[in-house]
Structure 1
């Protein structure tokens, strides 16, 4: 289990799952596997979903619960618990949302792919931190903190997009009942430290399932139930539950979702025949994120109080921007939602997410490794000696 709690291994598993899905989808068994993913499971005539939707709407709600618990902690006790701490990553995150959207629209404006503009705004926290762990030995903790805050703010934007843009025909009555269930869930979670914690835990599981079903039936995307439950739960028990769920999320939930989302056939067409969605996402993730995060982050260095945020250099911000371009999980979900009625465009958008994230992984690995090497040299240099001229130039960047 400890392996699945590490930052490195889950990122490798996630990538391997996506690659395996592409291989399977484009092999002779691809159609059969696709049929399995579209097979309906549940109570006939009462509540049925395809296997793919059980993964996307059901299992992924657990992932969003874990994200929401982390978000709750960071907003109350962590790196985002004051406006002063959040200012610099918030400005960088804004650039990391606005610029990728603008880049995407340069390709997709005027086409039927324009609805995919939210897709390149997301950052995959687990994957980005995995790359940071693999190649960032020696980096100052401030860079990791900045990236974590940036990715969490990105997740907030992604959650808002899912809740607002991809909600249709909302049943306000069911949504209101779901809200009451979430409130009861949050209040009852305060009793998890009592002697009756076994009974309380069972009731919490039932309430969580009820909230998920109600949110799904209300017309709001079911993963929002996970967000609401994670934010409502008392912090101490929530952090314990997150700790217990983390290996399952990293080892089962996210790999299954990556496999399900990446199960697409690579179109046998020339590059010029590919949808603008593919090209927009392919460029917006690596280029838009790097330009947006580094540019806005550089501005934030001049706006934020130096004593209230990590003292980052421009090259550090470029590395953070490249890490931010690893969209993966949330971008794949946004692709599924944005083009739910256009399977061909959705598949090409998925390939754009995989391609753009792959480019970002390579660029991020190179930049992070370079910055880590630089900081290790600085740390190894005698304190009474000035660093070499090359390092002085780097520190000024």
Structure 2
């Protein structure tokens, strides 16, 4: 199970699942897979009657958001975002990495009728970006990982806000109130999870969590928000253990399964000029908008810093972080589904655009991370050589 905790393994599993889905969707077994994805399971006549595809994106993905929210709470309380000063630079860089992709997307899609897809290219996939760092970044200073983690977490906050606010129509207030009560009960139970009655309390928490998810689903708010609320509400000491236990499940099963389901798309037989504006907007905004936006935001943060401390990252490190930020995948694929749910053909093109834009970012980031890692390894060897000569003298 330890290999499934590795960011490297998570990145590989996610990418292979997406590639496999694209290959199979465009093969003779494609229709059978689409039939399974569209098969409805649950209680007919209730919000719990969902297709298997939605059970993955609305149900299982809530577990991923639960784990991400626990990590976010840790960073806000004890980690890299626990003071305003620590959060300021990655926050400004993250803001640039949200604003510029939106601007590029809108510039490309204005007048097309699909302007509402602007949130799609704003997300960064934490697992995949850290996976690229793990694969190619041997020898890099830890501050790049810290900066990227803070930036990606802040990106996730923005993505969660977009999902909660933009993709909710006429929420059922009573259902949301019941969900809020459930979250409070979940938080109270979590304070006693480390006691002698761990098993029954854990079982009760799972039951309450499922009830909260059901109420959020019934309210009309996207149910992954239930995972966020429960993760933020959970008492911190047991939350770390729960996150550790669930990490192999999210890395090795939930995220690859979601990537497979989301990337199950038939590649349209279109000429390059025939793709709709959202395809081009997303394809350009992810690798270009995220990189330039993060670099511009990081540069601005350094200019605004009056503390006299040296920049957290070199310019090369900032460019590398920007390239890693363009890897959208999980949250971008989810927002693509939500933004274009009424236009399946545009949603399919959006999925291809997310995969293409993220792939461009993966290639760019891999080259930059490798280059930066070699530079710092050479620098470390040079320092060790100078130190050794000084000691001999």
Question: TM-score over 0.5 for the alignment?
Answer: yes
Say whether the 8 Å CA contact 1:167–1:220 is kept in structure 2.
Answer: yes
* Equivalences for residues 312-323 of structure 1 within 5 A: 312-323=313-324
Match of 2:36 in 1: 36
| Counterpart-to-counterpart distance in 2, 1:357 and 1:165 | 23
Say whether the 8 Å CA contact 2:294–2:321 is kept in structure 1.
Answer: yes
| Counterpart-to-counterpart distance in 2, 1:7 and 1:344 | 33
Report the secondary structure of 1:340's partner residue. Answer: coil
Q: CA deviation at 1:295?
A: 1.2
Q: CA deviation at 1:374?
A: 0.7
Say whether the 8 Å CA contact 1:146–1:310 is kept in structure 2.
Answer: no
Say whether the 8 Å CA contact 1:178–1:211 is kept in structure 2.
Answer: yes
Say whether the 8 Å CA contact 2:302–2:311 is kept in structure 1.
Answer: no
Change in CA separation of 1:152 and 1:310 when aligned onto 2, cut-off 3 Å: farther
Q: CA deviation at 1:44?
A: 3.2
Cα deviation per residue 1:23-81 (whole Å; 9 max; x = unaligned)? 11111111111011000111234431100000000000000000000000000000000
Match of 2:237 in 1: 236
Question: Does residue 327 in structure 1 map to residue 306 in structure 2?
Answer: no
Q: CA deviation at 1:252?
A: 0.6
Match of 2:249 in 1: 248
| Counterpart-to-counterpart distance in 1, 2:95 and 2:257 | 30
Q: CA deviation at 1:107?
A: 0.9
Cα deviation per residue 1:328-352 (whole Å; 9 max; x = unaligned)? 0000000000000000000000000
Say whether the 8 Å CA contact 1:113–1:275 is kept in structure 2.
Answer: no
| Counterpart-to-counterpart distance in 2, 1:307 and 1:39 | 60
Gaps of 5+ in 1: 387-397
Match of 1:219 in 2: 220
Q: CA deviation at 1:194?
A: 1.4
| Counterpart-to-counterpart distance in 2, 1:275 and 1:265 | 15
| Counterpart-to-counterpart distance in 2, 1:271 and 1:49 | 35
Match of 1:125 in 2: 126
Question: Does residue 346 in structure 1 map to residue 347 in structure 2?
Answer: yes
Report the secondary structure of 2:273's partner residue. Answer: helix
Match of 1:192 in 2: 193
**CA RMSD, aligned part only?**
1.4
* Equivalences for residues 152-231 of structure 1 within 5 A: 152-231=153-232
Q: CA deviation at 1:383?
A: 6.1
Change in CA separation of 1:307 and 1:214 when aligned onto 2, cut-off 3 Å: farther
Number of matched residues? Answer: 386
Report the secondary structure of 1:381's partner residue. Answer: helix
Q: CA deviation at 1:196?
A: 1.1
Q: CA deviation at 1:384?
A: 8.3
Question: Does residue 300 in structure 1 map to residue 301 in structure 2?
Answer: yes
Match of 2:68 in 1: 67
